[in-house]
Amino acid sequence: MSEAAGTPDHEPPDDDARPAALHRVTFGPGAVAVGFLVGLTVLALAFASSWGADAPRVFLLALWYGLGVGLVTGLPLGIALGFLLRPVRNQWIHVGAFFAGFAVVAFLVTTLLSPSTLLGDSLPAALIIGGAAAVARASIWKLVREP
Q: Does the pLDDT at position 145 exceed 80?
A: no
User: Where exactly are the structural domains of the chain?
Assistant: 29-139
Q: What is the pLDDT of residues 112-127, one digit of tens each?
A: 988 877 877 889 999 9
The string over 43-57, giving b where at least 16 C-beta atoms fall within 10 Å of a residue's C-beta and e elsewhere, is bbebbbeeeeeeeee
Cβ atoms of 136 and 38 closer than 8 Å? yes
For the stretch 90-102, pLDDT in tens is: 999 999 999 999 9
| pLDDT value at 129 more than 60 | yes
Query: Is 13 within 8 Å of 5 (Cβ atoms)?
Result: yes
Q: Averaged over 61-89, what is the pLDDT? A: 94
